[in-house]
Amino acid sequence: MSFYHTYEQLKDLPFQELFSKITSLDVERVLKKDRLTRDDYMILLSPAAEDYLEEMAQRAHQLTVQHFGKTMQLFLPLYVSDYCVNTCKYCSFSVDNVFPRKRLTMEEVEQEAKAIRDKGIEHIILLSGESRMHSSVEYLKECMTVLKKYFSSVGIEIQPMDQVDYEELVNSGIDGLTVYQEVYNEDIYREIHTKGPKRDYRYRLDTPERGCRAGMRSVNIGALLGLDDWRKESFISGLHAQYLQDTYLETEIGTSFPRIRPNAGGFQPNVDVSDKNLVQAMLALRIFLPRVGITISTRENPAFRDDIIPLGVTKMSAASSTEVGGYTNPDDTQSQFEISDERSVDEIRNLLHSKGYQPVMKDWQII
């Protein structure tokens, strides 16, 4: 089984035409429904639904409070290595960008862990560039022996691996996998991933499934918005999340809505994705899949992040550093992308309290 079969059925649909045919009556009908079909989801992503964002927001808010409560999970990324073998036009870690690369030693991992732990953070995601040699299973397992002492949940966002590798990582205590398809449009995918193993679209698309089968507790997917028509990309990534939810009942499926940020390669987005567009994509997904996790990163600016908290978001990062060793030695090396929201964990906690949300620092226990 693979989501690729679904993708093949979807890719040649006349999306422009389908979206443009949707009317306000269609939207009103969907907003009265309890359970949404794929077609209903498409209706909520249509230009016609733009006039109903307030109604959608009310619904999305109600569903989120019902299923997740007035809570927000906080986490931080920990970058351990920026060695990468791929050429991706939009990413600063791309092998073509020349800068001194770095991989943390175990002493440095421990220093970073302490610095993050001192902020009160319990959940982290280990990040690296995509290099089998530098962010190998052995290296990550070694990191885990250190990180276990400091955190109650550790996920990874690294190069795609085989199921057996994920199984080994799960046994070492890693419980979450994040892997973005970046762009679901296979042609654009090949255009922007010019060199390296990442060019293999199908292997990447099947990565979340390998993670689910290996026993990851949570698997997080998403499209990098700005690479192709956002309505279509959101639609396909939403169906991908639904497919994973239906196929792997044991796994908590989450999604993110990253938008392209300034980066060392100077890549310009193919498509503009406005705040309004991003909000619509998020609301439509929440109404379509009420239990899916939604993460919003520090790529977005503070004011916008504050405003979208009640619209369906369940996880946020705070005070993130996207450079290797960045918590102990800021401004030392190359960051993966520029962050917009530089507020501290305490500031984010206070903000959440003021908005009537409980910041949740711990929501798992390595057992």
Partner 1 sequence: MNDLLHIGGVSLHNRLFTGTGKFADHKEMKKAIESSQSQVVTVALRRVDINGRDEHILNDIPEHVTLMPNTSGARTAEEAIRIARLAKASGMGNWIKIEVISDHKYLLPDNEETIKATKTLADEGFVVLPYMSPDLMAAKRMEEAGAAAIMPLGSPIGSNRGIKMKEMIRIMIDEINLPIIVDAGIGKPSEAAEAMEMGADAVLVNTAIATAENPAQMAQAFDMAVKAGRMAYLSGLGPTTEKANASSPLTGFLTT
Instruction: Enumerate binding residues for partner 1 (CB under 8 A).
Output: 65-71, 117, 120, 122, 152, 217, 245-246, 249-253, 291, 353, 356-358, 360-365, 367
CB of 97 to partner 1, least distance (A): 38
Residue 188 or 361 with smaller CB distance to partner 1? 361
Residue 308 or 339 with smaller CB distance to partner 1? 308
Tokens representing 366 are 């390595």
Q: What is the dihedral of CA 212, 236, 77, 64, to 10 degrees?
A: -90
Residue 239 or 273 with smaller CB distance to partner 1? 239
Cα–Cα dist 213/104, whole Å: 30
Cα–Cα dist 268/320, whole Å: 23
CB of 214 to partner 1, least distance (A): 13
Contact criterion met (CB below 8 Å) for 3 and 206: yes
Q: Tell me which DSSP letter residue 299 carries.
A: T
Residue 129 or 238 with smaller CB distance to partner 1? 238
CB of 206 to partner 1, least distance (A): 20
CB of 110 to partner 1, least distance (A): 16
Q: Which of 4, 3, 292, 357 is nearest to 284 (CA)?
A: 292
CB of 71 to partner 1, least distance (A): 6
Q: Which of 292, 299, 312 is nearest to 240 (CA)?
A: 292
Tokens representing 87 are 């050429």
Cα–Cα dist 135/123, whole Å: 20
CB of 330 to partner 1, least distance (A): 24
Q: Within a 10 A sphere around the Cβ of 344, how many other Cβ atoms? A: 11
Tokens representing 26 are 């269609």
